[in-house]
Chain A
Amino acid sequence: MTIAPIAETVLGPIDEIPFGEGRTYAVGSDMIAVFRLRDGSLRAVSAVCPHKGGPLADGQIDNRVVVCPLHLYAWDLATGCSQSGQPPISVYPVRVDDGHIILGD
């Protein structure tokens, strides 16, 4: 599990992300995919698939994993661990505060 430290950043309004989908944000030089789970909680992970560079925010999710749209490898959204023998992705702390997506602690 790789939890990357990151400075607290307001990414934008929560309404930008429909339930069950993800959107990509550029934070400094990092690309971060933020997902809004159907239970309302958020997850943030590195946006680029370590396998072949697929856009993870375009992947399908459930409350546990994201599936990359290119070759359907899956990663755990909470730990960043691959379920199929791939390198892990970074996970970032993220929360909703007053209708805004807050990245970092």
Chain B
Amino acid sequence: MTQRLVVIGNGMAGARTVEEILARGGDFSITMFGDEPYGNYNRIMLSNLLAGVEDEAGIYLNDLSWYADNNITLNAGVKIERIDRFAKKVYATDGTATPYDKLIIATGSSSWTPPMKNVHNPKRGFHQGVFAFRTLDDTRGMIRYARDHERAVVIGGGLLGLEAARGLQNHLSDVTLLHAAGHLMERQLDEKAGHMLQASVENKLGIKVITKAMTTEILGKDRVTGVKLADGTVIPCDVVVIAAGIRPNTQVAADSGLPVERGIVVDDQMRVQDEDDIYSVGECAQHRGNLYGLVAPLWDQAKVLADHITGRDTAAAYTGSKLSTKLKVAGIDVASMGLIAPETDDDEVIVYSEPKKGVYKQLIIRDGVLAGAILVGDNSKAASLIQSFDRAQALPEERAEMLFDIGGPAGEVKPEDMSDDAQVCNCNGVSKGAICGVVNAGCKTVSGVMDKTRAGKGCGTCKPLVQRIVEWAAGGEAEEDPAASWYVPGVPMPKPELMAAIRTHELKSVSAVFDKLVPGGEHDAKSKMGLASLLKMMWADQYVDERDARFINDRVHGNIQKDGTFSVVPQMKGGVTTPAELKRIAEVAEKYNVPMVKLTGGQRIDLLGIPKEQLPAMWADLDMPSGYAYAKSFRTVKTCVGSDFCRFGVGDSTALGIAIEERYQGLEGPGKMKLAVTGCPRNCAEAYVKDLGVVAIDGGKWEIYVGGAAGAHIRKGDLLCTVGSAEEVIRLTGRFLQYYRENANWLERTYAFVPRIGIERIREIVVEDTDGIAEALDAAVEEAVQSYKDPWKERAVPATPGQFRTSLPLTVLPQVPVRS
């Protein structure tokens, strides 16, 4: 049965709530009452109207036809003075009574007038020339009056006052802003930010600002001639605009016996306390002790109210909002969220201040999450900060990244600024449109979208952009992906828990892990390789090697190429070879008609285009160990010529590089490990940008850098330590690599791992041994070293039937007779 819904208030909250109710197909006959004789307009845009950048038509949210189209009876300009909760009727000042089944009170707020002498005129409300700044009528009156006058004073240095001052400049030449507090926008900004904003307002806009200015009197007999401050200062003016704050309109509710404290008290369903059929929403509602004067919380309240009143979701609950604002205040970028000052000694405060440019940024971090932020003069990072704040996300180790864009090709491109055909993933050729299509089809997790489109699955550089697009396309409501913290997608555990469970249950094969640790025991193809790597690291010789858990590269010990052939890269320790070795490689290349012979970036020789079935014979002819150019493992140690020949070299980098490669060859890990040793800081071996790089420095010492990269991601490694001998380099290399193997996520390279853990922490563990695990790390890596076997010896007898059988018709396959 259709119920009668009455809404008191036709402002942004009332109208938005009705829109939400209509969107849910609510079966109501709706009657709305509004004080103002208009449809529903965007109050926030009154500043633009005053500033002349918007006209009246442009600020309407719903014109009168919307009410007619939706069968809403609008009583514009009719004021409700009383609610009879028992008879379920509302009474208007014109004497009419309107019955309801459900009632929504969305009466909003009114402008607050501080006590001042002579501000009111008994006949006409305000003194002539004095205006509030709240309604369309206020704004119209102000514009009309200001046009014919010269000097204005705005009382109130909050957001609204600043907007009023800026807008008035459009109509008269002299504007002074008076603010009672010590700095502008004191609710959103700390003192420094407030002063920075004041400097910009004064110097860039030419508005005079007086703080600590308590206005006590309006001067002038028939019309305003000035204002007087508490200290006796008189400021002559013709127009006074009062923008000193708002007070919720609760009189009707209070007069009708509803619970009113600072606002009308509502529960989590936006129902007035102890009332079954009366709701309240917007600025007049007090929820869990808080009043909200911004639109974002209001939108959330409207949704919950609509869910509940329509019965669409009676469990819907509004639990409060974290407040953040990002706006242009009088043409100057300002953003503010959460705390504006630290509250405890442990609060981490990060401040950047550049007064000449009017830029100020402050972050307050508590327990590793963003507890507050202030930006003035530069809002480029506001969106990402608001997101971090709202979701209490983990913050980057480099705090500066939160304040500035520091390099990175994906930058902070805004999804809304991108065209649909803009390519997001340059590896897999995925456009913004393709990502949005998947989101619109219902997939709202970042990993789900990446799976479906393969965006971000190449080099991974575009992942942050993919995430932003997913969030944007999902209307800021991307779903949390529980799998994001798992080591592999098919086993619901982060790495530490997974390793503990593997140890507890002594799980030594990949299928045993699935059987024991996955509810339902379902195996997952995409998780096998990561698990195989982890188990091999954990169990070394005791690992039960199921060949199907290996990726094809690890089954046949070569890197699969686009045509299904493989590459063969023999080991060439430290990039040092001999004429005999080169001859042998040359002969093999000729014998097998190798289509391409190429030098690699890791100082080795790559034989490309080898059919799978030829691999064992080639290895036999080469009779060299595998260079592991295909696995998630220790790859190569690049070296320079070092001290033997180079006239600058200060350390024997080649000998050390060879020794490191000799020891750690083939070591599996969560990602590739590329190393280098260079004989002097000229860095010919590019050691600064390796997973682990060693640099000889004068005095027989070696610097060890970790976490460098020069692939899709470029990062200079962090200096781990400086040591005095090659032996120590070898020992610390093993210890660091083992720590990485045990603690990095699957496919997490050191350039991500090292900053995640922090170089200081890694130094404590690996160099200083503050955790007392150095010995265990050394022993574990030693065990792994001892279990090394050259995989290319797996050639006389295949490890599995058909291990090297072709999978593509690269050569003619033996034909199976077809029975007709």
Q: Which residues of A contact B (CB under 8 A)?
A: 7-12, 15-28, 31, 33, 38, 47-48, 52-67, 69-74, 83-85
Which one of A11, A21, A47 lies within 8 Å of B800 (CB-CB)? A21
- 6 extra interface residue pairs, beta carbon distance < 8 Å, beyond A18-B802, A52-B562, A72-B457: A12-B816, A20-B511, A22-B807, A48-B808, A60-B526, A69-B552
Tell me the bound Cα distance from A55 to B548 in angstroms: 15
Determine the main DSSP class of B at the interface with A: loop
Instruction: Indicate whether A38 sits within 8 Å of B511 (C-beta atoms), given known contacts A18-B801, A67-B526.
Output: yes
8 A-B interface contacts by CB (under 8 A): A7-B820, A19-B548, A20-B548, A21-B555, A22-B807, A26-B816, A55-B808, A64-B525
Instruction: Indicate whether A31 sits within 8 Å of B546 (C-beta atoms), given known contacts A26-B813, A70-B562, A74-B525.
Output: no
Instruction: Indicate whether A62 sits within 8 Å of B552 (C-beta atoms), given known contacts A73-B454, A83-B451.
Output: no
**Contact residues in B for A47 (Cβ distance below 8 Å):** 807-808
Closest to B547 in A: A18
Q: Using an 8 Å CB-CB cutoff, how does the interface string of B785-820 with A read, 1 for contact, 0 for none?
A: 000000000000000111001111100011110111
Q: How far is the CB of B91 from chain A (nearest CB, A)?
A: 61
**Contact residues in B for A64 (Cβ distance below 8 Å):** 522, 525
Tell me the bound Cα distance from A28 to B817 in angstroms: 8
Closest to B809 in A: A31
- A72 and B454 contacting across the interface, CB-CB below 8 Å: yes
B453 within 8 A of A: yes
**Contact residues in A for B453 (Cβ distance below 8 Å):** 84-85
Interface centre among A7, A11, A65, A69 (most CB of B within 10 A): A69
Chain B residues with a Cβ closer than 8 Å to the other chain, count: 42
Q: How far is the CB of B517 from chain A (nearest CB, A)?
A: 15
**Contact residues in A for B553 (Cβ distance below 8 Å):** 69
- B801 and A61 contacting across the interface, CB-CB below 8 Å: no
Instruction: Indicate whether A20 sits within 8 Å of B549 (C-beta atoms), given known contacts A15-B801, A84-B451.
Output: yes
Instruction: Indicate whether A7 sits within 8 Å of B548 (C-beta atoms), given known contacts A24-B808, A63-B522, A72-B457.
Output: no
- A7 and B808 contacting across the interface, CB-CB below 8 Å: no
Q: How far is the CB of A22 from chain B (nearest CB, A)?
A: 8
B756 within 8 A of A: no
Q: Using an 8 Å CB-CB cutoff, how does the interface string of B505-539 with A read, 1 for contact, 0 for none?
A: 00000010000000000111110110000000000
B428 within 8 A of A: yes
- A25 and B551 contacting across the interface, CB-CB below 8 Å: no
Q: How far is the CB of A76 from chain B (nearest CB, A)?
A: 11
* List of 3 A-B pairs having minimum Cβ-Cβ separation, nearest first: A20-B548, A55-B807, A62-B523
Tell me the bound Cα distance from A36 to B511 in angstroms: 15
B452 within 8 A of A: yes
- A85 and B452 contacting across the interface, CB-CB below 8 Å: yes
Tell me the bound Cα distance from A59 to B553 in angstroms: 10
**Contact residues in B for A20 (Cβ distance below 8 Å):** 511, 546-549
- B548 and A9 contacting across the interface, CB-CB below 8 Å: no
Tell me the bound Cα distance from A26 to B819 in angstroms: 13
B130 within 8 A of A: no
- B815 and A74 contacting across the interface, CB-CB below 8 Å: no
**Contact residues in A for B522 (Cβ distance below 8 Å):** 62-64
- B552 and A58 contacting across the interface, CB-CB below 8 Å: yes
**Contact residues in B for A74 (Cβ distance below 8 Å):** 525-526
From residue 273 to 307 of chain B, which have CB atoms closer than 8 A to chain A?
Answer: none
Which one of B457, B529, B546, B806 lies within 8 Å of A24 (CB-CB)? B806
Tell me the bound Cα distance from A19 to B818 in angstroms: 26
